[in-house]
Amino acid sequence: MLQGKHILVGISGGIAAYKIPELIRSLVKAGAEVKVTTTKNALQFVTELTLQTVSGSRVYSDVFAAINEHSTEHISLPDWCDAMIVAPATANVVAKMAAGIADDALTTTICSCTARKPIVVAPAMNDKMWESPATQKAIETIRSWENVRVIEPAEGVLACGVVGKGRLPELEQLQEALEYALTPKTMAGKRVLITAGGTQEKIDPVRFISNYSTGKMGVALAHACARRGAQVTLVCGSICVPVYNPFGQLTRIDALSAQEMYEACVTAWSQQDSAILCAAVADFAPEQVADNKIKKEGFRIQDSGFSLQLKETPDIAKTLGASKRKDQQLIGFALETEHEKENALHKMERKNLDAIVLNSLRDKGAGFGADTNIVTILQADGTVTALPLQSKALISEEILRVLFS
C-alpha cells in the first residue's frame, strides 16, 4: 500500500520523538520514500544524523539553513509528498496548526500542506496538556479540516510517571493511519461484516477444541475494508494479531465459541451490505461442558481408551445465506486438503454464497499461521481468479478489487 509513495514525516519536540526513527524505518521497509521535517526542539530528543540515516534524506529543520535544497523548502516538500504525518504533535504544534501560525520549518511546511495533501496528526503530550480546553478546541478545529485526520492518543504510563491519556499510539497504528489516508474511499457508506480467527469449544475450564487459525487473513481484510471507508464489524474468535482502528471505522466483537460467533453474526447481518466469513469455525463442540477439570478417569471407557461426545455447531454461512437479501453480498472461505475446487464450489452452492475464496494446505506458503497465502476466488457467475503467493495484506487488497470494484 505504501510502495512508491512519498511520505513526509514531521516531528515536534515531545519525548515520543525518540520512537519516530523506527516508524521511518518501517515506512522505508514498506517501499515508501521518506523525508523529514522537524522543529528545533525535536532535535533535543532525536538527532538529525539518526533521522538522516534512517530516511536516506537530508532533514529540514531550519527555514534559513544554507544547506537547504530549495530556498522555499516548506513549499517544495508539500509538492513532493503524497501524504504527511505529524508525530508526535505537541500541544504547541497542535495550537499553531489550528491558528495558522507558521514560524519554523515544521509549522510552515504543515501550513503549506493542509489544503493540498492528506495529513495524519498524532498528538502526544502529558494528560493535563491533552485535557486543556485550549488543546481540545485546537483539536476540534483541525479535525474539521477535510484533509486532516487526527489519531486519539493512547492511554498508559506517561513520561512523568503517571497513568493517563496522552501517549503516542503504537507505530503500527500510525502506519495504518497513513495507509488509510492514502487509500481512495471506494467503499464509503458500505457496512461489512467480517469474521476472523479460530473458535474455541470448551471441554472444561482448562481445555478446549480449536484449530490452527491465527486470524491474520480476516484481520487483513478488516483493515483493507476500513481503509476504503467501510464501516466494519469484525467478529473475532481466537486471533494472534493486533487489530488497528485509528479512525473509528471498525467495531470489534469478541466471540470465542462457534455459538457466540453465530449469535453475533446473525444479530449483525440484517444491517450489513456484505459479509466476508473468513473465520475457521469449529464444526463440532463437546455435547456437555464440565464445570470442573475432568480427570483422566472421566474420559476413560473401561480399558479401551478415551471418549468425548460431540455435537454439530451452528452453520453461520448457511444461516446467513438463507436470509440473504438481493442487495446483500455473502463471501465465504474454504480451506481444503483434497478435491479443492469441487468441494469449494459445492460449499458455495449449498450455502448460497456469491463467492468463495479457496486455499489449500498443500500449497507451500498458504494456510494457517503464515504471513502469505495463495488463493483462488470462485464466483457464483463462474468467474475464476487465481492469485499467486503474496502477503495476506496484498491478498486482501486483491480480494476487494475483484469482488468490490
Q: What DSSP element (H or E) covers 231? A: strand 231-236
Distance CA 166, CA 301 (A): 59
Give yes or no: residues 170 and 203 share one domain: no
Proportion of the chain above pLDDT 90, given as a percent: 81
Cell of 270: 440484517
Task: List beta partners, residue 356.
Answer: 332, 378
For the annotated catalytic residues, the residue numbers are 160
Task: Supply the pLDDT for residue 304.
Answer: 64
Give yes or no: residues 260 and 143 share one domain: no
Tell me the pLDDT tens digit for each residue of 7-59: 999 999 999 999 999 999 999 999 999 999 999 999 999 999 999 999 999 99
Tell me the pLDDT tens digit for each residue of 191-230: 999 999 999 999 999 999 999 999 999 999 999 999 999 9
Helical ranges in 86-202 per DSSP H: 91-99, 105-113, 127-130, 133-143, 171-182
Give yes or no: residues 197 and 171 share one domain: no
Say which CATH number the domain at 383 has. 3.40.50.10300
**What contacts 24, CB < 8 A, 6 or more positions away?**
9, 34, 36, 51, 54, 55
Q: Which domain holds residue 95?
A: 6-182
Distance CA 350, CA 178 (A): 41
Of the listed ranges 110-119, 170-179, 302-311, 352-361, the least confidently predicted one is 302-311
Task: List beta partners, residue 234.
Answer: 194, 252
Of the listed ranges 28-42, 69-83, 87-101, 379-393, the least confidently predicted one is 69-83
Give yes or no: residues 168 and 195 share one domain: no
Give yes or no: residues 70 and 197 share one domain: no
Q: Contact 116/80 with Cβ under 8 angstroms?
A: no
Task: List beta partners, residue 150.
Answer: 121
Task: List beta partners, residue 83.
Answer: 7
Domain boundary pick from 117, 149, 182: 182
